[in-house]
Structure 1
């Protein structure tokens, strides 16, 4: 089994790369619905004032629902479709749980296509991906040891990697910069979230560089990804796709002293095969050149396998660390399990949108992926809040969502705050979202969704500034303060 602690440390270390950053409020376009019960409005700020005080540019929509009765308590722009960003992962979790089941495990196999006699495979060896989004180097090493434990010592045929369990996608969102780790390729096999580790160290007047698939325990070198240091200041990175190599260059003037970062992998099957070759060799089994295949021979039989942990645990980590690749792979797997044959993320996202409309009445939902990274996705606050209220009655989703601490005016965590929030955050440049559940001081549970987006400012971002566009950080901070103030307000009105 995968070492959960090691993988969570790995995920936490990538956290800064998982979110690119987060509009305002025009005057409310829809009237506010009356609360379920009377309250003293003298000390409670009206929502129009809360939105105006936020100082955001763009648009804001929100909806809050009584999680027990499903009745909407209040909404502004509740039926307006806005980008959900990573809040979409909450819907993806529901989609995958229903289609696959919380105990589902993804299986990666080593197959023999031919007889094994006296430890010699007279045929091909196949590393067969099963759509496991959390397969890491340590798990692949365990699989290599399990293969060796069967008595295998020689392979006389070829070495193949099967990645046909899911469609091939070059980048989750092709509009993202080439080098960002949160938009890697997708296929039926993934390793280390389809990221390769790039490390540089000072060596005289230049640098030594290494590309590897490291874990806490081992650091197998990678041949399918290459890095060249070039004497320039900008661009910091360039990428070219060669037939069997991800070819990178990096600006020497941007490196400074020793450092490292994770870069996206565009050839997942070659990457996994490259690393498995090294791990097999360390166990005395020499494999030939990697050949990628999209279908499996019927004659192949299993020698060894590795099973992921249960889907519920995978989703818990996905919601905590907001891993885009996990969302895309489990979303695609869910669509396929429901009988779909998606060729792209958009097709699978639209299948999930249709499911959300049928299952939860989420009119206005139109998703282009499962992670929320694509800016063309739309979701309405009213639709999501109502869906969360319905799903919350089953009890599974609230237990998977991340605790969101309440903060004071200076951004400091208030540890004894009477309101508890579990939710999914969402952040893109000039897009921010929060959707989940709040438990008020009197125990009342509310489901809510808050989306904000400034389309104009987002459209003006130059490609070279997409990682850290000017003004995005401050805009995002104001969005999060608005979210907190709305939650405080709802607690005062509906739960005190």
Structure 2
């Protein structure tokens, strides 16, 4: 996917869209003329292409929709509808975050988590404190902490006279990604410089006669250490299903007995990542025969601290690919915060770091843009970007070769919803979904023809704003709205895939 991308400007894009007959000024109207040559006999279907406005109206989404498609080889727009309308990108924002991190930190960047000592070691005894130093690794898990504990044993450490202390200042400590989300949703956990298991704890229950046995653990692979900083009690009620209270450094949950079946489990968010990691590491070290006393979190390491053990994350390319595949919010936020800090900024919030990422992307685009991110995952619905700007972002400063290999394959479907046996083009894209918000953006590469970058955003923000906090997990009408949005996206990608191949 190469070509003269430097010739693409925002003015040129918008001018091209206007010249192509797109309805930027009047989004309720569709194209009045086709920007494509007359149909060939083999492409008779092109004569019956619906206007974009007609497709949007038929989707019955309400609110607003913005869409843009760009020819990557010429840098010219092919079609657009309300292209300058800025809407929430939802998880499509993760594509922007991946670009930000890959271009600034580099594809081979790794995050380090270390065990450090601040005193002398003699005959296996550390005369001082042991520090668990976080490096902002977004994919650190219990197995990695277990490996660190094993390294201590291999190094011959059998006693620590001081305390186990956590240093988590590599990233700011943030209690939740989006405060507007219900407390129990695992995709909005806390963030810090030391994050374990995506800052989630596993709650499992099993009915034993008339009572329930419940556990809270930090499972990963074969390891299932019990957690002391999170607790759960079953209460005789039907609603609310969960309640949450923070007591000092501990998370206290209750669950409605009426919501539990015979057995089950789910991940719940952690609000004290440093305490969680220290709790789990203390258990894992104990399994290696090393008893540790927990001490307070430290803002920094003492001068002269020495490294005893180290765990390196996978390279950033692997982390970014996993983030885009599974749409993990914590990964996106850690990558964005780490990248902002590497640029010399010291953001103390997601909003501040989102603004730093927005400024970086604006500087990479040929002309200024009004895009604005309030976080790096897209979970915050106050982020805004137009389809024109998102498509430009994918089409400029070497974005395609950097990003496309890490996006998921998108398969188009027929009118009955069945995956087409023969796809008209290779499509890779990032999806995004919030309540009454849906997005899709990526690349279309036909077997023969011109490669494209595209972005599609739809949002009914008035309907979203009417939701109460309790309704946000499963709002009435939300799934049907999302299905209609996905159908519109499919129809547009199928349309552009065929056009690119013609």
Q: Which stretch shows the higher mean deviation, 179-188 or 388-397?
A: 388-397
- Map of 1:17 onto structure 2: none
Q: Give the Å deviation of 1:92.
A: 0.3
Is the Cα contact below 8 Å between 1:230 and 1:250 reproduced in 2? yes
Question: For the Cα contact (< 8 Å) 2:451–2:500, is it kept in 1?
Answer: no
Partner in structure 1 of residue 298 of structure 2: 293
* Cα separation, 2, equivalents of 1:414 and 1:112: 59
- 1:89 equivalent in structure 2: 94
The correspondence for 1:389, drawn from 392, 395, 401, is: 395
What does residue 467 of structure 1 align with? 473
Superposition deviation, residue 82 in structure 1: 0.2
Which residue does the alignment assign to 1:450?
456
Shift of 1:390: 1.6
Is the partner of 2:47 in helix, strand or coil? helix
**Post-superposition offset of 1:33:** 10
Residue pair 1:197, 1:261 contacting (<8 A) in 2 also: yes
Instruction: Decide which of 264, 270, 289 is 1:265's aligned counterpart.
Output: 270
1:428 is the counterpart of 2:434: yes
After superposition, residues 282-321 of structure 1 pair within 5 angstroms as 282-321=287-326
1:376 maps onto 2:375 in alignment? no
Computed over aligned residues only, the root mean square deviation of the Cα atoms, in angstroms, reads 1.8
Q: Does 1:439 align with 2:439?
A: no
Moved more, 125-134 or 437-446: 437-446
Please state if 1:222 is matched with 2:227.
yes
TM-score (norm 2): 0.91
Does the 8 Å contact 2:94/2:377 carry over to 1? yes
Deviations 1:282-308 (A, max 9, x none): 111111024212222122110000000
Say which structure, 1 or 2, has more relative contact order (CA 8 Å, 6+ apart).
Answer: 1
Q: Report the structure number with the largest CA radius of gyration.
A: 2
Q: Is this contact kept in 2: 1:34–1:74, CA < 8 A?
A: no
Counterpart of 2:164 (choices 141, 153, 159) is 159
Q: Which residue of 1 aligns with 2:346?
A: 341
Q: Write out per-residue CA displacement over residues 229-275 of structure 1, whole angstroms, 9 at most, x where no aligned residue.
A: 11111110011111121111111111121000000000001101100
Output the CA distance in 2 between the equivalents of 1:176 and 1:330: 21
The reply on whether 1:38 has 2:37 as its aligned counterpart is yes
Partner residue, 1:486? 492
1:140 matches 2:145: yes
Partner Cα distance (1:30, 1:85) in 2: 26
What's the CA shift for 1:27? Answer: 6.4
Instruction: Pick the aligned partner of 2:250 from 245, 252, 255.
Output: 245
Q: Deviation above 6 Å: which 4+ runs of structure 1?
A: 33-36
**2:115 corresponds to:** 110
Once the 2 structures are TM-superposed, how far is the Cα of residue 409 of structure 1 from its aligned partner? 2.1
* Distance across 1 between alignment mates of 2:49 and 2:197: 48
Partner Cα separation in structure 1 for residue 343 and residue 32 of structure 2: 37
Please give the secondary structure, in 1, of the residue aligned with 2:87.
Answer: coil
Q: Distance in 1 between matches of 2:334 and 2:244?
A: 24
Distance 1:151 1:422 in 2: 50
Deviations 1:133-185 (A, max 9, x none): 00011111111101211110000011101110000100000000000000000
Secondary structure in structure 1 of the residue aligned to 2:233: strand
Paired residue for 2:68?
Answer: 63
Could you tell me how far apart the structure 2 residues matched to 1:256 and 1:31 are? 52
Whether 1:355 and 2:354 are equivalent positions in the alignment is: no
Check 1:393–1:289 CA distance in 2 against 1; reply closer, same or farther (3 A cut): closer
d(CA) in 2 for partners of 1:29, 1:81: 16
Conserved 8 A contact 2:112-2:311: yes
Distance 2:49 2:137 in 1: 49
Cα distance between partner residues in 1 of 2:356 and 2:25: 32
TM-score in terms of structure 1 length: 0.92
